[in-house]
Amino acid sequence: QVQVLESGGGSVQPGGSLRLSCAAGRAFSGLTMAWFRQPPGKDREFVAAIKRQNYGTAYADSLKGRFTISRDNAKGTLYLQMNNLKPEDTAVYYCAATNRGLITSSLRRETEYEYWGQGTQVTVSS
């Protein structure tokens, strides 16, 4: 069992930045990790993912250039740096993990991840 815990959400004005963190316990370097988000009234959607051992990343096309996913295997922590935030980025952000290695085309699928955090709210508003 992998415990996943997000932190770092909050309220920010348009154009601002936030960094989300996700702690995922032991054997972190062997986990494939991802961020998903669920905007109000919408389905959950893929944000970004990073392969285990930091072997590669994937992003939602619409978020490339503004969001950066990274991991610190020594600290057992996943990050999502979000810059130039827009009101449409308002959502509950979820951290997800799997202890399987995924090919790049599978990184975006919710069903590939069996461990999920409770989510952290990000609100972008003036």
Residue 77 CA to residue 79 CA, distance in Å, equals 7
| pLDDT mean over 75-89 | 97
User: Which helix H or strand E contains 71, and what residues bound it?
Assistant: strand 67-72
Taking only the tens place, the pLDDT of each residue in 13-40 is: 999 999 999 999 778 989 999 999 999 9
Please classify residue 73 by burial: count the beta carbons closer than 10 Å to its beta carbon, then call 0-12 exposed, 13-18 middle and 19+ buried: middle
Taking only the tens place, the pLDDT of each residue in 65-78 is: 999 999 999 999 99
Residue 52 CA to residue 102 CA, distance in Å, equals 9
Residue 28 CA to residue 93 CA, distance in Å, equals 20
* Cα distances (Å, whole numbers) of residue 91 to 61, 71, 73: 17, 22, 27
Q: Are 113 and 22 in contact (CB under 8 A)?
A: no
